[in-house]
A = this chain, B = another copy of it.
Amino acid sequence: MKKLGILLLLIAATNLWSLAQTVSIGSPSGKIILNFTIKNGNPVYTLSYKGKTVIEESNLGFKIKDMPEFGNTFTLENKVTEMGVNQPWTPVWGETKTIENNYNMLQVTLKDNAPQAHTLIIVFKVYEDGLGFRYEFPEQANLQHFIISEELTSFNLTGDHKIWWIPGDFDTNEYAYYTSKISDVEKKTQKRDGNIFTATPIQGSFVQTPLMIKSPEGIYMNIHEAALINYPCMDLKFDVTTYNATATLAPDAVGNKAYLRAPAKTPWRTIVVSDDAREILASKMILNLNEPNKLKDVSYIKPMKYVGIWLEMHLGISTWDYAGSQSASDAGSDGKTVKKTKHGATTESTKKYIDFAAANGFGGVLVEGWNTGWEDWFGKWKEDVFDFVTPYPDFDVKEVNKYAQSKNVGIITHHETSGSVTNYERYMDTAYRQMAALGSHALKSGYVGKIIPRGEYHDGQWMVNHYLRAISKASDHQIMVTAHEPVRPTGLHRTYPNFMAAEAARGQEFNFWSDGNPPEHETILPFTRIMGGPMDYTPGIFKIKKSFYIPGAKEQVHTTLAKQLALYVTLYSPVQMVTDLPENYLAKPDAFQFIKDVAVDWDDTKILLAEPGDFIATARKAKGTRNWFVGGITDEQARTMEIDFSFLDKGQKYTLTIYKDAADASWDNNPEAYAIETIVVTSKTKLKVNLARGGGFAMSIFPKK
């Protein structure tokens, strides 16, 4: 993609000044200022927002393995600035039609005085909504292949702020969120979630990013990273007395962090900052820090709603495996399986789902458990599990794809790796070729289990490279990718728009087998995990309680039905599952109408109301239309939201249908009670909506003809 024009402005002393070894640069308006200094040979920075320091003096730099002389004696060799850069761009899909990309850039070149000197470049980009910075190791004589043993980057917060966080872990992001003061992190993480199979918690005050922060003065910050490529994922270690958070990189099997060869660039370290929580959610800085689209062919990339053979397995109605249970003892020693109970992914059942998708305008049907290997896949750290090409005898993979295409629906092929990635990589070429031959353009991959190569983590450099390799190879075969259990996203869907969504957080599924997701969960996700990219959360559950299927079962979804509808708007993703069983939708056609109507690709987005952990209300304008959809959700507190419709076109009347909690609804006692009303609104309308405890509402707003 051609770079859009760059507008360079040289701005004077307010935004940039140099004093001894100190350099500063501001955002275009000057409300955010980055100060860079070298102190005793070590690079440090501070950040201020509207005149207030938000990041105190914080370290930059690295320890390089077997190279103790690296750094420590840096001096500023050179600096370059680019001011007023303005590079708007159009995403292949997204929350808005175009994305503004305005920043000022400072690049400092540092040289140490080791006997064989080294050069390190740090690039800072200051936006109106935050700071991104990255390190570059330029080509140089004394640094070729090298190993990062530690990244020194820190984020020195100004106090014991309130944070929304999950524990540091190199293998999973599927924790429920904690809300606490920084000083409480270690204490809180003593009691960890026991429902996650593959977890490698780090002992101590470690948290993951995206980390959401709120200072007592009401300044919100989000710390994360952008463009995580060929580098391990960053967690943060808090010093709970100084509130300084230091980068902690996921190690590899032998304890090294990253293998680099100059020239090399690290991911961007990102700090989104605002005194308005809504601006945090609206920020596109992480996307902007990623490279433009690299894919020449985007013809096959289509945002969609999809149904799937998936929930029924979670409900115990059918099984992934052909033998009808997940026990290894059901697989004969000859590797053949014996059918005992009900296998989910049959040709017949898949066709019914295809019919349902076609009848309701959904683009895809996910099929899990279609391929051999499910009898003995889980939790064994077993290398040779799935081959990704051999269907079970009762699943005619050709017939199913053909039938789907005849109905203008696509099969979403499922590749569960069970974490055995060496095995997956051996088959990837062949499996993607098979998908292309069958006309399946969408892939859901899964990484449930301890990683093979053994000793590697989901979040290490090796796996980070794998996820991108899969995305890139998929694009060669016109395949969209949604990955479950990968490293959490960092905006790479700008560069690889066939990377539709990821799980990489605690999805709806936890409601079916564990203590579940507390009612506040979905009000935190957009401030944390989803800052990096879309999440395949799987909303839309109409039968809230598992006891509907299994008498006495305690598991349930921790929202009202109306809130489930709202999630299609508040949790942004270009692929949204229509998760519940078709029969449950057909039983409530009025509520189902919203899911049929709601869009998945947008020309505009307005964050109307937001407070992490409490509430969110979002309005989005469907791509290529004048239709708007609004979602509002609350945590465990009932509340009233006033929605201001000033985002609508002036002078136009709209038909608004609201799907809301019934007056007596609540997530715990009466979750499926909803009410639907239709009214006419204009841009001048303000509407008060009552949300139940754990509740929400959804609105469709169509121009009145």
How many of these chains are in the complex? Answer: 2
Q: List 21 A-B contacts (CB under 8 A).
A: A144-B328, A144-B329, A145-B381, A145-B382, A252-B454, A253-B254, A253-B454, A254-B455, A259-B381, A259-B382, A261-B328, A261-B380, A263-B333, A383-B462, A383-B465, A422-B422, A453-B453, A453-B456, A454-B456, A454-B462, A455-B455
Chain B residues within 8 Å of A252, by CB: 454-455
Chain B residues within 8 Å of A360, by CB: none
Interface status of A425 (Cβ within 8 A of chain B): yes
Contact across chains for A254 and B454 when beta carbons are under 8 A apart: yes
Chain B residues within 8 Å of A380, by CB: 145, 261
Interface status of A139 (Cβ within 8 A of chain B): yes
Going nearest first, the 3 A-B pairs with the smallest beta carbon separation are A453-B453, A253-B455, A253-B253
Chain B residues within 8 Å of A465, by CB: 383
Per the 8 Å Cβ criterion, residues 53-72 of A in contact with B are: none
Q: How far is the CA of A430 from the CA of B430 in the complex (A)?
A: 10
> Which B-chain residue is minimally distant from A262 (CB atoms)?
B333
Chain B residues within 8 Å of A259, by CB: 381-383
Chain B residues within 8 Å of A254, by CB: 253, 454-455
Per the 8 Å Cβ criterion, residues 134-188 of A in contact with B are: 139, 141, 144-145
Per the 8 Å Cβ criterion, residues 304-335 of A in contact with B are: 328-329, 333
Q: How far is the CA of A381 from the CA of B145 in the complex (A)?
A: 9
Interface residue tally for chain A (C-beta within 8 Å): 31
Chain A residues close to B by CB (< 8 Å):
139, 141, 144-145, 252-254, 256, 259, 261, 263, 328-329, 333, 376, 380-383, 422, 425-426, 428-430, 453-456, 462, 465
For the complex with contacts A253-B254, A422-B462, 9 further pairs of A-B residues with Cβ separation under 8 Å are A144-B328, A145-B380, A253-B253, A253-B456, A254-B455, A256-B454, A263-B333, A422-B425, A453-B455
Chain B residues within 8 Å of A253, by CB: 253-254, 453-456
Q: How far is the CA of A429 from the CA of B432 in the complex (A)?
A: 14
Q: How far is the CA of A253 from the CA of B376 in the complex (A)?
A: 23
Chain B residues within 8 Å of A426, by CB: 425-426, 428-429
Chain B residues within 8 Å of A381, by CB: 145, 259
> Which B-chain residue is minimally distant from A427 (CB atoms)?
B429
